[in-house]
Amino acid sequence: MNHALIGEPIHIGESLYELTLRLIPENTAEAKALRNFEIQKPSDAEKEQIETYLLLGILGWSVLSIKNQIRNVFKVRATTNL
């Protein structure tokens, strides 16, 4: 899985930001996990895969929560690790 930041981070609090991320699946299993996560019917493994990527895969950021998802675009709240 890869990702791209869409737009600029929006500063919403002391050290809190809102990010819009596009997750880019690298294979059909990741694409399926994203689809199932969106419709809120992921398997435990698919849910863990998406959440783990969001928690650990976004270098420079610590994702605190997912605000919403539309297809493979996620709006999240995060703090900076820089």
Q: What are phi and psi of 72, to 5 degrees?
A: -105, 15
- Rounded CA-CA distance 43/57 in Å is 20
Dump pLDDT digits (tens) for 16-51: 999 999 999 999 999 999 999 999 999 999 999 999
Question: For the whole model, what pTM was predicted?
Answer: 0.89
Dump pLDDT digits (tens) for 47-82: 999 999 998 889 889 999 999 999 999 999 999 986
- Name the residue ranges covered by the structural domains of the chain: 2-80
- Rounded CA-CA distance 8/36 in Å is 28
- Rounded CA-CA distance 26/42 in Å is 18
Q: Compute CA distances 61 → 26, 28, 35, 56, whole Å.
A: 21, 26, 24, 9
